A and B are shown apart, each in its own frame.
Chain A
Amino acid sequence: MSCQTVLNSLSEFLDHRLSCDERARVSVHLAECRECTAHLRDLSELRNGLKNVPRTAVPERLRTQLQVLASHERARWNATKTLPLAMHTWAVNIELAIDNLMRPLALPLAGGLASALLLFGLVVPTLGFRPSVRNDVPTGFYTAATLVEVAPPGISNDEAVVELYVDAKGQATDYSVQQGEVSPAMQADLTRMMFFSRFTPATWFGQPTNGKVLVSFRRIKYVVRG
C-alpha cells in the first residue's frame, strides 16, 4: 500500500469509516511508515482540538429576539388554524391596513377640503352670472357700453366706421375714425350725433366706467323700378 493511498484514507481511518480489511492494511502500513504515522498524529490532534473548540454562548439580545419571534409566529400560526379564526384575522389585517393607509391621509385630506371650500367661497362672488331678470344691473366683470338711442342721420353721403368714446355718465366725449374718410359735413353730423344720442356706460364689477362704442355709417340706395 502506497503512502499516498494511506494519506487519503487517514481521515476515514480516524473516524472508523474503513472496512476491516482496509483498516488492517492501513494499520500495517502505519506500523512501518513514520511519516504517515506523524501525519495521523497531526490529524488526530487537530480533530481533538476541533472537538474541544468551546461553544459560544448565544447573546442575550438574540435569545430575547428569538423568544419574541417565536411568540409572534405562534400567534400567527394559531390565528390561521380554523376558517373562522383565519377570516377574523384577515378582517383585522384588512381593517388595520385601511386604517394605516387612511390615518396619514386624514389630516391632509381635511385640510385640503377646507382650503378648497374657503377658496371656492371667496371666488364665487366674483364670478359673473347671467342675470335671470331683465333690466337687472349686471354684476359681471365687465359690460360694454351700448347705444340706446341714436340721433337722426344728417345729409352727408360719406361711409365710415367710427369709434365713440363713452364716459361713465353715458356721454360720448370723443371719436376716432377706424375706416373711411370723414368730410367736414360728416364731422358736423358726427358732432351732432354725439350730443343728441344716448348711451349706456360700460360697467366694471357693476360700477360705471369709460367704454367705447363702434358706429358704422352706410349710404342706402333706394332703387325705384317701374
Chain B
Amino acid sequence: MATSILDLNAQKTAVTDSEDLALVRALREGSERAYETLLLRFQQPVYNLALRLLNDPSDASDVVQEVFLKVFRNVGHFRGQSSLKTWIFRIAINEAHNQRRWFFRHRHREVGIEDEQEEARSRADTLADSTQSPFDYVVDRENLALIEDALSRINPTFRAAVVLRDITDLSYEETAEVLQVSLGTVKSRIMRGREALRQELGKKLQSQPVMHWLPKTAE
C-alpha cells in the first residue's frame, strides 16, 4: 500500500515537473497564455505566503509584485533543478525577508491609512455559508483568529517553516529547498515552530475568561 502511494506521488511529481517545464518554455517564447497561467497558478499562494509572513496586506502586495517581476525577468535562467513552485516560493521568502528588514529599518513607525482588509474581501466571502451553523462558524472563526494571532507572534524563522509546511502544504524536502537549509534544520524549525505556537495559544486561552454553561430547567 505504502509503495503504491509513493508511486502515485512520484507520478504526480513527474507530471507537475513536465507541466512546469512546458510553462517555462512557453514563458520564454513570450506566450500571453503562459503569463496568464503563471499568474493564475501562483498569485494566490504567493500572496497568502507573503501575508502570513508579513501580517500586512500592503507589504504583501508589494512583495508579490516584486516576486513576479523577478520571476518574469529571470525565467530564462530557470534550469529546472527544482520545481517551479519551490523556485517561486524561494524568491517570495527572500523578498519577504528583505521587506521585513526594510520595514524594521524605515517604516515601523508609519501608520497606514488604507483599509486593505476590507478591499481584500471577495464576493464569495460575503455570501452566507450553509454548511455550518452560526455558532460553529463563530467558534471556528475565533479559533482561526487565535491561531493567526499566535502565528504572527512567533519567531519569523520558525513561522516561515510552519507556514510552508502546514498552510502552504509543502513537503519537508520542498520546505528545505525553499528555505535553502538542510532537512534536519527544517525538521527542527517545524517542531520548534509548532511548539512555540502551542505555547502561545496556551497563554491566550489561559488569559481569556472561562464560561461554564450548566444545563438548568426553566422555572
Residues of A participating in the B interface, judged by any CB pair closer than 8 Å: 8, 10-12, 15, 17, 42-43, 46-47, 49-63, 65-67, 69-71, 73-74, 77-78, 81
Contact = CB atoms under 8 A, between A and B. Distances in A.
Contact of B194 (A46, A58, A62): A46
A43 B187 contact: no
Contacts of B52: 53
Nearest to A8: B191
A57 B35 contact: no
A62 B64 contact: yes
Given A47-B194, A50-B166, A60 B119 contact: yes
Interface of B: 28, 30, 32, 35-36, 38-39, 43-44, 47-48, 51-52, 57, 61, 64-65, 68-69, 72-73, 116, 119-122, 124-125, 140, 143-144, 147-148, 151, 162, 165-167, 169, 172, 187, 190-191, 194-195, 197-198, 201
Contact of B72 (A8, A61, A69): A69
A58 B119 contact: no
A62 B201 CA distance: 32
Nearest to B75: A77
A62 B36 CA distance: 14
Contacts of A46: 147, 194, 197-198, 201
Most buried by B among A12, A62, A65: A62
B167 A53 contact: yes
Given A8-B191, A56-B47, A63-B43, A15 B172 contact: yes
Which label, helix, strand, loop or mixed, suits the secondary structure of the A interface?
Answer: helix
A11 B72 contact: no
Nearest to B201: A46
B148 A57 contact: no
B124 A57 contact: yes
Nearest to A16: B2
A52 B198 contact: no
Given A56-B48, A62-B65, A69-B68, A49 B172 contact: no
Contacts of A47: 166, 194
6 contacts: A11-B194, A50-B162, A53-B147, A56-B120, A59-B57, A66-B68
A65 B65 CA distance: 8
Given A56-B47, A57-B125, A63-B43, A49 B190 contact: no
A11 B167 contact: no
Contacts of B191: 8, 10-12
Contacts of B144: 49, 52-54
Contact of A66 (B39, B120, B143, B167): B39
A73 B65 contact: no
A9 to B, nearest CB: 9
Contacts of B124: 57
B147 A56 contact: no
A200 to B, nearest CB: 80
Nearest to A49: B147
B72 A70 contact: yes
Given A46-B198, A56-B48, A57-B44, 11 more contacts: A15-B172, A46-B201, A50-B151, A50-B162, A56-B57, A58-B64, A70-B36, A73-B35, A73-B69, A74-B32, A74-B35
B30 A78 contact: yes
Nearest to A43: B194
B61 A77 contact: no
Nearest to B69: A69
Contacts of A49: 143-144, 147
Nearest to A11: B191
Contacts of A59: 57, 61, 116, 119-120
10 closest A-B pairs by CB = A50-B166, A73-B72, A11-B191, A57-B122, A78-B30, A70-B35, A62-B61, A49-B147, A59-B120, A58-B47
B64 A55 contact: no
Nearest to B46: A58
